[in-house]
Structures are given as C-alpha cells and as structure tokens.
Amino acid sequence: MARKRIGVGVISLGWMGRLHTRSYKALREKYPELEVDIDLVVCCDLIEENRRVAVENLGFSKAVEDYHEVLNDPEVDIVSICAPNFLHHEIAMATIAAGKPFWIEKPMGISAAQSKDIAEGAARAGLITSVGFNYRHTPAIELGRKLIAEGKLGTITNARVWLIADYASGPEGPLTWRYSKEKAGAGVILDLLGHGEDLVQYLLKDRISAVTAQTGTFITERPIPLKAGIGHTGWEVSEKKGPVGNEDYVSVIGRFESGALLTMESSRVSVGPRAEYIVEIYGTDGSIRWNFEDLNHLQICLGRQNGFQQGYTNAMAGPDFPDFMRFQPGAGTSMGFDDMKVVEAAQFIQGILEQRQIGPSAADGWSAAEVDAAVEASAGDGKWHEVTPVTEHTTFDK
C-alpha cells in the first residue's frame, strides 16, 4: 500500500506549537501502521526568532508571519492552531472556511459562544478535528475508563477532581495574555479546570449537568513584560505593574446527568503542589485514583470485602496498558507528558485517514466550554446553574 502524504501547517510556535510539531514527527516511529508521511510545510509566528527555529531546527520548509498564508497554501492539508486563546476563534473559523481539518488547543475560544461557533462550523463543513485534551490519552486513564465501563466500580456515586498548580504562584511573574479577561477568558477556569471537566466526563461517559462555584484572585497585579518567552518561562519584565483581570482559584460542586455528584477545584497560585492534577472516581463496589504527578500509576480498589487487604492496589503502567508499548519497553520505564500529545496526534491523523472522528473533537471542546460558562456564571451570582447541553456529538460518551 502506498504511503499517504499529509502536509502540515502550524500556527504559532510557542510551547504548544513546538510540541505539536514534535508529535507529528514521532508518528512514523510510534504509529508505523498509519503509513503516513508528515510534511512540515509551513509555520506561522510573529516572532522572527521562532520563525528561524521553525526552519533551521524543527524542519519546516518555510515560516511566515500571516496565518492566512498557511491556510491558503495548497500544500497544507491540516492545521495546528496553537495561538493564544483570544486568537483561537478567528483562526479556527478561517480554517473552517478554508476547508482544512484542524487540531486546536483548549480552550477553543474565550467563551462558550466562540466554542459553539467553532464546533458547529466544523460539523457543517464535515471536518475532522482534535482538541488538546491530552490527559485523556494517559494509559492509566484509559485503563480506568475501561474498568468503569465494565462496571468494576459498581454504580458510580461521586467524583473528585482537582488541578492545583504553582506556575503563577510568584507575584513577580509577568502580566501575560493569560491574566487578561479579554485575551484569556476566565483565568484558571479555562486554563486548568477545563481539563478536569473533560477528563471526568471522558472517564464516566457522563455529562456534567449543573454546577455551583466560587472564585478568587489572590495576586491582583503583575509586572508588565518587556520580552516574550516560551510558555511560562523566558519572559523579561519591567518594574511597572498592571492589574490581573481573571481568576487564580475556583471551587465547584456539581452533578452529572446520571445523578452522580461532583466536586472540582483548580488553582494556578498554589505553593506546594507543582502540578497536582488528580481525579478520583467512587462507586458502590470500588474506586480509582490518578495523579498526573505520578501519571504512570493508577490506584485501584475493587470490592468491599477484602479483609486486611482492603485498599488500593498501585498499578504501574506496563505492556498491558493501552498504547504503553509504543513508547516504552516495559513497566518501570515511564511515559511522560509529551507522549500523550503523540497519542493525540495519532488519533487526529487516523481520523483524517479513515474520515471518522476518533480523538477529542471540537464538540468536546464546546462541551467543556459550556461547563466553564456555568461555573463562571455561578461564581458571579452564587446560584446553581444548569449546563447548556451541546447539540453536536461528543466523543467522550462513546
């Protein structure tokens, strides 16, 4: 069978743009059965140094400043959208108009309305999409989802989810677009909590139906940046400060359509946990617990009558976990964050080759955005808010 060529355009070469690029390049080794040759056609970035890196270090044929050049290039078959949040809607809608499948980082926009536009537009155009919900693709999470689907935990009663990080814990950190309501949207709600919302809905194949929430901003001003960095590092700042416009912290109580109960919490300013992203699922016959800081383990308790052995078994990822053997030879040799993005890239490419939605879709991104919107509304008025259901088909409930 002849190998298929897929031409890639990447828009914005920050941390995520570089990670998308590495993920595409890894497919030939990690997923040889796809029989696809990835051609890095063009990268778009406003920063000259990033354009130089794209060509000289990462292997792109060319680099440009205007993303329209990416969309209009006949050699580009698919697009990665890795720009800041406030540009997602504009670029995604232009990509849809160009008729090109896309892999977009979450959140898809700065509001549920923007995410709805993108999801509905992609559906009308019949485009395969992918959204950067990479924690789904951890082998331990996939095993946990299988155990839940098989009924090993009994009837699900409740879930606890928290994503607690310290990347913004220093008040001397730069006032980047992430701290602007206009450019980032609802702060830690969109940045971290959205991952937790998708992760728990994916595990349970159940939709969050209602929430009540509270938020707080604990670092109210930050220094104005003088020089851009990559991701959260490499920035230079001035002595002048500006106001932070969105939330540092959020706590949520919620419920699922099934009637199961939910608690969620996220912070970007913790001092202690570095990236403690934990999900716990409880049922009448057992529970599971996963922590991103120890992502190669799944804690599993099955049954209620195990005597002195009652409690968690700490299951280490190995050859019997989904996708593990593509990356490591055996248990004890750990997978990492970047590997989850390779799985995500593989699902995106496989979906394009087979013309069916496999990985997290724009509808999934819209679903998380509607939960975000309900959380934000509740934090504003202190009331319970129903989550507006999405009308496009999601992949987390398959």
pLDDT digits (tens, 9 = 90+) for 223-282: 998 877 776 666 788 889 999 999 999 999 999 999 999 999 999 999 999 999 999 999
Domain, as residue range, for 360: 137-335+344-384
Q: Do 248 and 267 sit in the same domain of this protein?
A: yes
Query: Which residues of the chain fall short of a pLDDT of 70?
Result: 1, 231-234
Q: Is residue 398 part of a domain?
A: no
Residues 77 and 170 in one domain: no
Residues 180 and 224 in one domain: yes
Q: What CATH number corresponds to the domain at position 325?
A: 3.30.360.10
- Assess if residue 393 is contained within a domain: no
Is residue 211 domain-resident? Answer: yes
pLDDT for the residue 227: 73
The pTM assigned to this predicted structure is 0.95
* Same domain (yes/no): 176, 311: yes
Facing residues of 249 across strands? 216, 267
Same domain, 244 and 169: yes
Q: What is the pLDDT of residue 309?
A: 86
Q: Do 265 and 298 reside in the same domain of the chain?
A: yes
* Structural domain ending residue among the three candidates 77, 105, 132: 132
| CATH number for position 50 | 3.40.50.720
Residue at a domain's end among 76, 102, 132: 132
Looking at the fold, whether 200 and 272 belong to one and the same domain comes out as: yes
Both 101 and 168 in one domain: the answer is no
Q: Is residue 390 part of a domain?
A: no
- Residue 155 included in any domain: yes
Percent of the chain at pLDDT above 70?
A: 99
pLDDT, residue 184, reads 95
Q: Assess whether 75 and 147 both reside in one domain.
A: no
Q: Are 360 and 285 part of one and the same domain?
A: yes
Q: How far apart (Å, rounded) are the C-alpha atoms in residues 378 and 371? A: 11
Q: Are 260 and 353 in a shared domain?
A: yes
Domain membership of residue 167 (yes or no) is: yes
- Rounded Cα–Cα distance for residues 28 and 351 (Å): 16
Residue with tokens 């959205």: 194
Residue 389 belongs to a domain:
no
Average pLDDT, the chain: 96
From 73, 105, 132, the end of a domain falls on: 132
Q: Count up the domains in the chain and report the number.
A: 2
Q: With respect to residue 395, please indicate whether it lies within any of the assigned structural domains.
A: no
- Are 240 and 176 part of one and the same domain? yes
